[in-house]
Amino acid sequence: MRTNNKDKSQWQPATVTIHGGKRRDEHGALVAPLYQTATFSFENTAQGSARFAGEEAGYIYSRLGNPTVTELEERVAALEGFPAAAAAATGMGAVSATMLAFVEQGDHVLVSDAIYGCSFALFSHLFTKFGITVDFVDMADLAKTRAAIRSNTKLVFLESPVNPHLKVIDIQAIADVAHEVNARLVVDNTFMTPLLQQPRQQGADLVLHSATKYLNGHGDVVAGIVCGSEDDIELIKLTTLKDMGATMSPHDAWLILRGLKTLDVRMERHCANAVKVAEYLRAKDLVKTIYFPGFADHPAQALMGTQMHGAGAVIAFELHGDINTARQLLDSLQLITIAVSLGDAETLIQHPASMTHSPYTPEARAAAGITDTLIRISVGLEAVEDIIADLEQAFAACSNSQMTTTGEQVRYG
Ligand SMILES: *Cc1c(COP(=O)(O)O)cnc(C)c1O
């Protein structure tokens, strides 16, 4: 087997997205073969027992490991700068397998107060059912975070930028607070990708993704992955992943390996398009507030160049008006697609209050600042002129109908 003679740790991220974890196929296939198999045969009983005993390396059964999945795990681990990774069936599979591996009854978990809706549901409903205490805190406020940590805090969980307001959290500062009580810091890095943010450099112990989003990037897979130390990843694989079973299908791993090859060029286009769409939206009268870490006056700029190497391509904005204004804007779009999810080639737009954040109670939604006119857009890879033209005609449709109902032009702002 030909091994690569270059020191892979010196590779630039763009190279790792294409070559990370690659093994040489016996036939020289350029693209990793898809090992679409549930199980692996043993030469004889001695080999079977040696594999089960861990005395011989090799695959046994695809829930325990599969060569296509291994290649993906090694590639993403290399991108995030960790020694190991465990692939999961979905992003939520990665969140739950990671978090449940390190807690037991009586433990405390500290969570950022605005996170992905299903992560919120998992922590606030399921965890508490099993005697795990969970507190939610505004992690942009360091004093509050410090006050909320306890001696029995085992895990601290955050997303940055925070969905959907794109508030940023200083990961290093939270890591320091977590490590004072020997808690692990888990960061959901879905919005940034390892090309824009590598939370390990700021002290995160485990970094996870919904690979459904940018890592795959083509909207045809739901998947997740978590990166960490060899020991932590082995624990996750041998307990919560193996026994609860949310492991990744080899076919999904194969598709994500393909998607990853273009991650670097996709992120460049996503980010460039997002800046233009954000500037366009900011100038609209109907837009009351806009949230985008790329603006020069956004607090994220303090962490730009250190924690973050780009603003990403998710923008949130609030409209003047009420829920019907938001609905009308979305319903007037022709190119931009109304759909949850993000990180796809297609520009996707959604209404958090009635969609991604509907698992929140109305009180929790209000506390998290998710108003009825808040809209989230994931800027895609289309020509940005076409994205903006579609928004322009939808805004025009909104003001026209306002004129019809009131008989005069409405001034917003
Ligand atoms: C989508 C998403 C998840 C959940 O991932 P699934 O693949 O849908 O299970 C978790 N965190 C963030 C930030 C997400 O955007």
Domain ranges of the chain: 8-260, 264-402
Q: Where are the alpha helices (DSSP H) in 157-262?
A: 171-180, 193-196, 230-236, 242-244, 250-260
Taking the CA atoms of residue 282, residue 284, residue 289 and residue 290 in that order, the dihedral angle to the nearest 10 degrees is -30
Q: Where are the alpha helices (DSSP H) in 263-413?
A: 263-282, 323-331, 362-367, 384-406
Q: What is the pTM of this model?
A: 0.93
How many Å apart are CA 315 and CA 297, to the nearest integer?
15
Closest CA to 206 of 237, 235, 184: 184
Average pLDDT over residues 330-337: 98
Average pLDDT over residues 296-322: 94
The catalytic position among 23, 63, 146, 276 is: 63
Mutate to test the pocket of ligand 1, among 158, 206, 212 (most ligand atoms within 8 A of CB): 212
How far lies 59's CA from each of 32, 63, 75, 245, in Å? 17, 10, 19, 17
Decide which of 364 and 315 is more confident. Answer: 315
What region, left, alpha or beta, does residue 92 occupy, with left being phi > 0 and alpha being psi -120 to 50 degrees? alpha
Please enumerate, as own/partner, the contacts of 138-143 that have beta carbons within 8 Å and a separation of 24 or more: 138/112, 138/113, 139/112, 139/113, 139/169, 139/174, 140/167, 140/168, 140/169, 140/170, 140/299, 142/170, 142/173, 142/174, 142/177
Q: Is the pLDDT of residue 77 over 70?
A: yes
Q: What's the DSSP call for residue 370? A: -
Confirm whether 258 is a catalytic residue.
Answer: no
Residue 230: predicted pLDDT: 98
Q: Is the pLDDT of residue 326 over 80?
A: yes
The catalytic position among 184, 213, 266, 365 is: 213
Largest CA distance in the chain: 85
Taking the CA atoms of residue 351, residue 209, residue 16 and residue 73 in that order, the dihedral angle to the nearest 10 degrees is -140
Contact 84, 72 (CB under 8 A): no
Q: Is the pLDDT of residue 406 over 60?
A: no
Given pLDDT bands bounded at 50, 70 and 90, which one contains residue 369? confident
Q: Which CATH architecture has domain 8-260?
A: 3-Layer(aba) Sandwich (3.40)
Contact 157, 183 (CB under 8 A): no
Nearest CA to ligand 1 atom 12: 116
Nearest CA to ligand 1 atom 5: 91
Residue 212 Cα to ligand 1 middle (Å): 7
Residue 114: predicted pLDDT: 80
Residue 116 Cα to ligand 1 middle (Å): 7
How far lies 1's CA from each of 23, 257, 340, in Å? 9, 21, 44
Average pLDDT over residues 198-222: 98
How far lies 184's CA from each of 125, 167, 175, 220, 262, in Å? 21, 22, 8, 32, 32
Task: Let me know if the fold of 8-260 is the same as that of 264-402.
Answer: no
The catalytic position among 107, 113, 170, 188 is: 188
Label residue 103 exposed, middle or buried (CB < 10 Å: 0-12, 13-18, 19+). Answer: buried
Neighbours of 243 (CB within 10 A): 9
Ligand 1: list residues with CB < 6 Å: 90-92, 116, 118-119, 159, 163, 188, 190-191, 210, 212-213, 222, 224
Q: Domain 264-402 maps to which CATH number in 3.90.1150.10, 3.40.50.300, 3.40.50.1100, 3.40.50.720?
A: 3.90.1150.10
How many Å apart are CA 395 and CA 367, to the nearest integer?
29
- Tokens 């959604």 belong to 350
Average pLDDT over residues 93-121: 94
> Considering only 25-34, 88-97, 257-266, 330-339, which range has the smallest mean pLDDT?
25-34
315 bridge partner residues: 377
Residue 410 Cα to ligand 1 middle (Å): 39
How many Å apart are CA 53 and CA 55, to the nearest integer?
5
Nearest CA to ligand 1 atom 1: 210
Confirm whether 213 is a catalytic residue.
Answer: yes
Nearest CA to ligand 1 atom 4: 91
How many Å apart are CA 300 and CA 160, to the nearest integer?
10
Given pLDDT bands bounded at 50, 70 and 90, which one contains residue 6? low
Residue 92 Cα to ligand 1 middle (Å): 6
Q: Is the pLDDT of residue 412 over 70?
A: no
Q: Calculate helix-pair angle for 323-331, 384-406, nearest 10 degrees.
A: 130
Q: Is the pLDDT of residue 334 over 70?
A: yes
Nearest CA to ligand 1 atom 9: 91
Q: Which two tokens stand for residue 399?
A: 């003001």
How far lies 253's CA from each of 117, 154, 228, 263, 413, in Å? 25, 31, 19, 15, 48
378 bridge partner residues: 314, 348
- Tell me the backbone φ, ψ of residue 154, rounded to 5 degrees: -100, -30
Which helix or strand (DSSP H or E) is residue 67 part of? helix 67-80
E strand residue ranges, 66-175: 84-88, 108-112, 133-137, 153-159
Q: Is the pLDDT of residue 409 over 70?
A: no
